Amino acid sequence: MTGKTRCAAFISGRGSNMMALVEAAKVPDFPAQFVLVVSNDPAAGGLEWAAGQGIAAVAIDHKLYGKDREAHERAIDAVLEQHGVEFICLAGYMRVLTPWLVEKWQGRMINIHPALLPEFKGLHTHQRCLDAGHDRHGATVHWVSPGVDEGDIIAQAEVPVLPGDTADMLAARVLVEEHKLYPAALKAVTSNLTKI
């Protein structure tokens, strides 16, 4: 395991992208390993799955911190430090991060977004794509920056929008690509990280 970048995944739900990352990282020559999964929701289904994989799975409930988002993130950051985390993958984490955490982890945190950025930042991307009448949609892996979904793009995957598509049908088609795109992007960026 030496020489592999120690990663944490942040989730808020079932964590299907986290699962795809963890499975990809099991390949011996993959340059990253997952040592921690963090959720802001104790009921997130992905926590149990991660624990079953032998990965530390920690819930830090944002509700316990009221409106103090930075206090919540400082608690998360302390857990990251305890586990020697070097890199963060946001994988369906439904909280907007404060500038404090983003700046601390600048260049060491990536996100996957279910749209072809810069189109359709934010939520409900699949329905918005259909409403706009686009003939293509997809997913983007990008560096996390202080602006929501505004960081530099690392990689994208495109899918066609088909006649009769619903938002759910389009979401399912995009998710298949997300599960390939995110591990490939993580491999690319962690292959280029300087190992001390």
Cα-based distances in Å from 29 to 1, 34, 149, 180 = 10, 14, 30, 17
Q: How far apart are CA 2 and CA 76, in angstroms?
A: 25
Cα-based distances in Å from 139 to 131, 146, 173, 185 = 17, 20, 10, 12
The question of whether 142 is a catalytic residue gets the answer no
Q: How far apart are CA 119 and CA 110, in angstroms?
A: 18
Catalytic member of 62, 72, 83, 113: 113
The pLDDT of residue 66 is above 50: yes
pLDDT tens by residue, 184-194: 999 999 998 75
- Domain CATH number, residue 83: 3.40.50.170
Q: How far apart are CA 51 and CA 68, in angstroms?
A: 28
For residue 65, the enclosing domain spans 5-192
Are 10 and 93 contacting, i.e. CB atoms less than 8 angstroms apart?
Answer: yes
> What single-letter amino acid sits at 158?
E
pLDDT tens by residue, 24-37: 999 999 999 999 99
The pLDDT of residue 71 is above 60: yes
Task: Enumerate the H helices of 3-43 as residue ranges.
Answer: 16-24
Count of structural domains, the chain: 1
